[in-house]
Structure 1
Amino acid sequence: MESGPEAFAGAAFALFGAGLLLWTGARVRVGAPVAEGAGRAVGVATGVGFGTLFLATGCWLLGAL
């Protein structure tokens, strides 16, 4: 009963993190800006950093089930 919200949160975090990493990679590949108004290196670092953080959190939550 208590694992339902944890599974939902884990799946949401993991999907968002994976999507953010894929989106950042696609933007870098075509040479488009990752974040509007930020430098290229800052945008890529922020996207990769937060994508990895969200993906790791989702995997941690799903692994705790």
Structure 2
Amino acid sequence: MAKSKAKKIREKLKREGKRNPEENRSPFAFADMRTRKTKTKKDLLDQKKQKNRSLSKDLSDGSFVFFGG
């Protein structure tokens, strides 16, 4: 593959003992951001199921309240 013009300039600066512009980059430029992901539809449904299960457990303890008038 051919070298880009920018890469040739960077290599020339490095040979001449000047600062390589690649060293100015933030360390976050090399971070792999693909590891972060939003919840899938299945994850959201499972989360709702868990919430519903805890609610039904609290209300189904066999007791009831009767208000007579």
Question: What's the TM-score, normalizing by structure 1?
Answer: 0.35
Greater relative contact order (CA < 8 Å, ≥ 6 in sequence): 1
Structure number with the higher helix fraction is 1
Question: What's the TM-score, normalizing by structure 2?
Answer: 0.33
